[in-house]
Chain A
Amino acid sequence: MSTLAAAGLGVMLGDRLVLAGVEAAFATGQVTAILGPNGAGKSTLLACLAGLREPEAGEVRLDDQPILKLDPRARARRLGFIPQTPEIAWAIEVETLVGLGRTPFIGARGLGADDHAAVRRAMEACDVTAIAHRDVTTLSGGERGRVLIARALAGDPQWLLADEPLAGLDPGHALDACGLFRTLAHDQGRGVVVTLHDLSLAARMADRILVLTDGAVLADGPPAEALSPQVLAQAYGVEARLTTGEGGVLIEIVGRAG
């Protein structure tokens, strides 16, 4: 088992405090969803966890090693990251894009047989094999989302960190992606950390939920605990009703709190 832990994370953007002493530890075998209103610092926290941003205070440790001290290539092999609204600059094929996930493994010679096998597995897992030879710039938002998840999985990472991976997916594909994240964590023992906006999907998918407001952790625990009406009122300023249904916790937003 592996752990990813943030201790006393503080990040400034200009003169704004984006993260103010965030303490959070994540473990493999679990799906953790980071929730919070716009501007709460979710993306910044994820970038710090991925070792892509140096915090002004505190540090992130991967199995007790400071993540910024790791060799970038070694880090990239263990930790896959999907940025929010990722840019795709050129009209490459889906398979080529997924193959970019092998970057930390390849030398100057390009992809080998192992790499191609890993790319195929990742495309199958994300159900994009049928569109392997499509031009990525012609994909729908949902197809693009799945291709980008496949790209991250092609590196067979122990950790998968994804910033808003469900944005732009229709309910069916969003559920599929949730199922995939759960499989990756529960059956394959990876650590999955995602930021989300959809409360009900988060409640269904995540084993654990971390609610961030104003750069600090407001709640941290299993969905039913972390997403209490009090937390939602404080985080989002909404009045919410929680019911336990067939698929887990259902969250109904009644209106503005207040």
Chain B
Amino acid sequence: MSLAPKRSAVMAALTVAMVVLALVSLAAGRVWVPFAVWFRPTDPLWPILFDLRLPRTLLAVGVGASLGMSGAAMQGYTRNPLADPGSLGVSSMAALGAVLTLYLGMGAQAPWVIAAAGMAGALAAVLLLMGLSGRSPGVVTFILAGVILNTMAGAGVALALSLAPNPWAVNEIVNWIMGSLADRSADEVAMAAPFMLVGCVTLMFTGRALDALTLGETGARSLGINLDAIRWILAIGVALATGASVAVTGVIGFVGLIVPHLLRPWVGARPGGLLIPSALGGAVLVLAADIAVRLTPAANEVKLGVAMAALGGPFFFALLMRMRRRLA
């Protein structure tokens, strides 16, 4: 039986799902906004639609696509289905960068400082990851390097919290770190979107190399792939896409882990061919999860990052159980 020919069909289906969910995301919430409001600028619901829901929806698409594609690229590069910006510590290092600016009060002055700090943290993480794991690393080495980065970033955030000048700063940091799309302004979206876009486009240039890496590093080099150049392109792409996402929404984990893994069998498992479907799939997953947390009846909205962790934890566990034989 053929494994691959469904790739275009899968991408078409994901695109349709993304558009439908985006429309639902504009309409759904505590207040239901009917589609008729779209054409009535004087309607009292108009600001809800355009000032609250639209940025939130755009952000869900951008963050989902960025995290999904970053995860697919990192899995392809490491040849490891457990790799993603969350598990390898890239997200938490980006968060540390952003938290430091919040702590130092710089974020309030200029929002782009947070984004820049997030991307710098993510870039540092990717470079440390490649440095820590060395040449031709095994599956376990990368995960251990990720554990080190997650631990270091966690310690840094804890330090910032314990030294925070006042309870409001603590509150701000804690709220932000849990990851949410709620109450983001159009300005924040406009600031982050270009970086996400450039990051994703950069990652698309790694497709051919990721395919060749299926044959290992020696195999890829024998096919004329310049691995040093690919490392840099990948590092910059992941840093921009993940860093910009984390800077605006906080840490939303597991998107980059779950999406490529679920889509892989449907696109013939070619890592380069998985990049765009994973971006679409990431957008679908984050949109759906964000709609779900909005509709969950609770006094306070459940944070999206928390919901994704609740979903992703067991998934990661199941994946590890299935991989256990290979790792042993």
Residues of A at under 8 Å CB distance from B?
47, 50, 52, 71-77, 79-81, 83, 86-93, 96-97, 100-101, 103-104, 106, 108, 133, 135, 151, 155
Interface string of B217-238 (1 = CB under 8 A from A): 0110111111000000000000
B218 to A76, Cβ gap below 8 A? no
Give chain A residues whose Cβ lies under 8 Å from the Cβ of B118: none
Give chain A residues whose Cβ lies under 8 Å from the Cβ of B214: 88-90, 92, 97, 100
B223 to A103, Cβ gap below 8 A? yes
Given known A52-B222, A72-B224, A133-B2, contact A86–B216 (CB-CB < 8 A): yes
- Please give 6 more A-B residue pairs, beta carbons under 8 A apart, in addition to A89-B215, A100-B212: A52-B218, A72-B226, A80-B222, A83-B216, A108-B204, A108-B208
**Secondary structure class of chain A's binding surface, majority of residues:** mixed
A103 to B208, Cβ gap below 8 A? yes
Residues of B at under 8 Å CB distance from A?
1-4, 79, 204-205, 207-208, 211-216, 218-219, 221-226, 264-265, 268-271
B3 to A87, Cβ gap below 8 A? no
Q: Can you identify 24 A-B contacts, CB atoms within 8 angstroms?
A: A52-B222, A71-B224, A72-B226, A76-B223, A81-B218, A81-B219, A83-B218, A89-B79, A90-B270, A90-B271, A92-B268, A92-B269, A92-B270, A93-B268, A96-B4, A96-B269, A100-B211, A103-B223, A103-B224, A104-B223, A108-B207, A108-B208, A133-B2, A133-B3
B223 to A96, Cβ gap below 8 A? no
Q: In the complex the two chains form, what is the Cα distance from A72 to B228 in whole Å?
A: 12
A96 to B222, Cβ gap below 8 A? no
Q: In the complex the two chains form, what is the Cα distance from A77 to B223 in whole Å?
A: 8
Give chain B residues whose Cβ lies under 8 Å from the Cβ of A151: 215
B79 to A87, Cβ gap below 8 A? yes
Q: In the complex the two chains form, what is the Cα distance from A88 to B207 in whole Å?
A: 17
Residue of B nearest to A72 (CB): B224
Given known A93-B268, A108-B208, A135-B3, contact A87–B216 (CB-CB < 8 A): yes
Q: In the complex the two chains form, what is the Cα distance from A47 to B208 in whole Å?
A: 23
The smallest beta-carbon distance between A156 and chain B, in angstroms, is 13
The one of A76, A90, A101 in contact with B264, judged by C-beta atoms closer than 8 angstroms, is A90
Give chain B residues whose Cβ lies under 8 Å from the Cβ of A91: 3, 264-265, 269
Given known A50-B222, A75-B224, contact A89–B2 (CB-CB < 8 A): no
